[in-house]
A and B are shown apart, each in its own frame.
Chain A
Amino acid sequence: MILDVIASVARVEVLVPWILGMLLGVFIGAIPGLTATMATAILVPITYYLSPMGGLAMILGCACVSIFAGDIPATYLRVPGTPSSGAAVLDGYEMTRQGKSSLALRLDIVCSSLGGVVGFTLLILGATALAAVALKFSFYEFLWISTFGLATCVVISRGTMVKGGISVALGLFVSTIGVDIVTGYPRFTFGEVHMLSGINFIPAMIGLFGIPVVLNTIFAPRHLEMPSVKETKHYSIADVLPSIRRRWTLVLRSSFVGTFIGSLPGAGADIAAWVAYGMAKRNSKEPEKFGTGHDEGVIAPTSANNAGIAGAWIPALALGIPGDSITAIILGASMIYGLRPGPLMFVGASGELVRGIFAIGLITQFMLIPIGLLSVKAFSRVFRLPNSIIMPMILVFCIVGSYALNFSMFDVGVMFIFGLLGFYMERNGIPLPPLVLAMILGPLIERNLRLGLMQTGGNLLPFFTRPISFVVILAILAFLFWNRLSPLLRKLRKKHGQA
């Protein structure tokens, strides 16, 4: 059967669109403002001219590679190419500043590949079982999982937790701008038509991360003559393998976390990357090194975000509920070809497509290594140019990337305003990543809070007493206050040991 599956994908009419999709994924992922969702949506009509397996290969290849490619500008320029690359900025960019960009990206390539392999393996072996767990999640659990994502982001970001909290609160506020999801009432729009649909987090993210880098660089004229990326030593794939071998439990753990979080509908690779980073820092023997260019800080989020793509297919195939927007589009296109999510997914034409998804997803993770190396080589040549050329280029990509979402200069204005806000926040020690994550999770948190309250008639008790919610709340509290709890627990253990 395995040979049949490989034979069904190792054909020219599948391989050519597959490779083209992956190359497109590199561009889409590496350019801030262009999302994997956008690329998937653009590709769907093109795939109708291809065979079902060829079309599937093109879209899936593009989606898988674009999640990795978003880490390239995150590492080189501190501008995440995709929202799921936000966590890769923390240590990846620091490595670039230390002249070790090739180390960061080669670690990234291998860990993304390994994370994706683990994710797709879990998908193949346990889709139905994992989907049963995801089905137990209701409003209350989704509320707390989203809060857990925000809590980890606050704890791991630089600055005090109070300032991290301010960043979260600002992000949550921005997420309330626009038409209210339940009543349809326009909130904080001040009569501006463009704000009815809310503030799009992608131009905000581009501005927050990209503009401060530009402003800080041009503020010191001596930096303008320097190359944007300077390597003190070149690292090959072979150089990073010992580090990955040493940290194989971290790779595995982050991949499991990424797969599980990705399997929660609406959660996605962005939260997966942050939660994995936060857990890695908490469990590390050198937590103080996170954020200073530490290899664990690159390994955790990059393994998790690629595993998250596979995770998103778990509820999609088992229950017909897509885990994220990319999976939603691919699922819709696949159902036209005869895919039947649910108990009959392995029967007839549907079975062939499902086995094709498994094979294409898994093999793409291995093809990520040569594709990733080529794309990193190409981008690194560009970023060796002096900052006096790179900084204006970054500005143009920020502007055009923001514009390309909705063909609106309003989004470009949003990008620039958030850029100036980000510049002020950084100067005041207020971390940026919690604001972006809060903008993404805010609507999820508000919707689940209000629907949950409507269901309970205003009673808050079920939010705390449901078993999974209770466990997640304990995890949040432990995460937030571990530094204070840990010495207390040690004291209790000593006392108990002496008694």
Chain B
Amino acid sequence: MNSRRLDVVTGSLVIAFACFVLAYSTTFPPAKGKDFGPSLFPRVIAVMLLVLGALVLFQVLRTRAQKEMRAPDTAAKDSAHASQGLRNVAVTVVAVVAYIVVVDPAGFIPTTLVFLFVLMKTYGLTALKGIAASCLITGFVYVLFSVLLRVTLP
């Protein structure tokens, strides 16, 4: 997706969001006494977003089509690398969500060990190095937070 299309999407999303905020703020109770009510600030922000979203769309219409925006230098060039990159991102997102769901019932140490090992293996580390690194990092984090800083981990 080139930068112009991205800007159109962004501008539209911002305007839609601003409309949602304006509409939702009408459900807040009205102002009482000298106060201006809880809806004042959200409405000011919504108007800001409306104007800014419109400006983004206006800028897109004004400027000529730009060159395809280069993604950050981390963008993979050939399709094999691209699919590997997408797989890495997908596994990471699923792993983080699974971590959030599982850590409370399963406990910090086993969940973190498995989480780290799965990610390191996905990113290309060998199984032996993955196990060693996972154990070291989990142990360090546990000692630092739970023992030294007295943070109660799940």
- A: residues with CB less than 8 A from B are 27, 31, 34, 42, 160, 162-163, 165-166, 168-170, 172-173, 176, 180, 182-183, 185, 187-188, 214-225, 386-389, 391-393, 395-397, 399-400, 403-404, 407, 409, 412-413, 416, 420, 426-430, 446, 449-450, 453-454, 457-458
Known A-B contacts A218-B92, A219-B74, A393-B137; A187 and B42 likewise in contact (beta carbons under 8 Å): yes
Which residues does chain B contribute within 8 Å of A428, judged by CB atoms?
A: 6-7, 10
User: What are the nearest 6 A-B pairs in CB distance?
Assistant: A388-B123, A220-B74, A180-B38, A218-B88, A392-B119, A219-B85
Complexed CA–CA distance, A395 and B41 (Å): 35
Given contacts A169-B45, A187-B28, A224-B124, contact A392 B151 (CB under 8 A): no
Known: A165-B48, A166-B14, A218-B123. A185 touches B38 (CB 8 A): yes
- Write out the residue numbers on chain B whose beta carbons fall within 8 Å of the beta carbon of A457: 34
Q: Which residues of B contact A (CB under 8 A)?
A: 3, 6-7, 10, 14, 21, 24, 28-29, 32, 34-38, 40-42, 45, 48-49, 52-53, 55-56, 59, 71-76, 81, 84-86, 88-89, 92-93, 96-97, 99-100, 103-104, 112, 115-116, 119-120, 123-125, 129, 133, 137-138, 141, 144-145, 148-154
- Which residues of A have CB within 8 Å of B154? 403, 409
**Min distance, Cβ A241 to any Cβ of chain B, angstroms:** 33
Indicate which residue in B52, B85, B112 contacts A166 across the interface (CB closer than 8 Å).
B52
Contacting residues, chain A, for B96 (C-beta < 8 A):
395, 399, 416
B35 and A172 within 8 A (CB): no
Residues of B within 8 A of A413 (CB): 100
Contact B35 A176 (CB under 8 A): no
Cα of A476 to Cα of B89 in the assembled complex, Å: 41
Contact B76 A219 (CB under 8 A): yes
Q: Which of B36, B93, B97 contacts A458 (CB 8 A)?
A: B36
- Let me know if A169 and B52 touch, CB within 8 A: yes
Q: Across the interface, do A173 and B6 meet the contact criterion of CB distance under 8 Å?
A: no
User: Which A residues are in CB contact (< 8 Å) with B151?
Assistant: 400, 403-404, 407
CA distance A175 to B88 in the complex (A): 33
Query: In whole Å, how far is A340's beta carbon from the nearest beta carbon of chain B?
Result: 33
Q: Which residues of A contact B34 (CB under 8 A)?
A: 454, 457
Q: Are A165 and B52 in contact (CB under 8 A)?
A: yes
B84 to chain A: closest CB distance in Å? 5
Contact between chains at B81 and A222 (CB < 8 Å): yes
Chain B CB within 10 A, most for which of A188, A391, A399, A413: A399
**CB of A118 to closest CB in B, whole Å:** 32
Q: In the bound complex, do residue B145 and residue A430 qualify as a contact, i.e. CB atoms below 8 Å apart?
A: no
Given contacts A34-B149, A221-B76, contact A183 B120 (CB under 8 A): no
Known: A42-B150, A220-B76. A183 touches B85 (CB 8 A): no
- Given contacts A183-B29, A183-B37, A388-B123, A219 and B88 within 8 Å (CB-CB): yes
Please determine whether B74 and A216 come into contact, CB atoms closer than 8 angstroms.
yes
**B29 adjacent to A185 (CB under 8 Å):** yes
A200 and B52 CA atoms in complex are apart in Å by: 25
Query: Of the candidates B14, B24, B40, B45, which one forms a contact with A450 in the assembled complex, judged by CB atoms under 8 Å apart?
Result: B40
- Bound together, the chains give a CA A403 to CA B71 distance in angstroms of 32
Give chain B residues whose Cβ lies under 8 Å from the Cβ of A426: 72
CA distance A297 to B133 in the complex (A): 35
Which residues of the other chain, A, contact B37 by a CB distance below 8 angstroms?
Answer: 183
> Considering only CB atoms, which chain B residue lies closest to A181 in the complex?
B38
Contacts A166-B53, A216-B72 aside, 13 further interface pairs with beta carbons under 8 A come to A169-B45, A176-B45, A185-B38, A221-B123, A389-B129, A396-B116, A396-B138, A400-B145, A403-B153, A407-B152, A412-B100, A428-B7, A449-B41
Residues in B whose Cβ lies below 8 Å from that of A215: 89, 92
Quote the shortest CB–CB distance from B128 to chain A (angstroms): 13
In the bound complex, residues from chain B placing their C-beta under 8 Å from that of A404 are: 145, 149, 151
The answer to whether B74 and A389 touch across the interface, beta carbons within 8 angstroms, is: no
**Chain A residues with Cβ under 8 A from B32's Cβ?**
183
Partner of A396, one of B40, B76, B97, B115: B115
Task: Write the nearest CB–CB distance from A225 to chain B, whole angstroms.
Answer: 7
By the criterion CB–CB under 8 Å, are A176 and B41 in contact? Answer: yes
Checking A165, A389, A400, A446 against B120 with a beta-carbon cut-off of 8 angstroms, the contacting residue is: A389
The residues of A that contact B21 with a CB separation of less than 8 Å are 173
A residues within 8 A CB of B29?
183, 185
Cβ–Cβ < 8 Å partners of A170 in chain B: 49
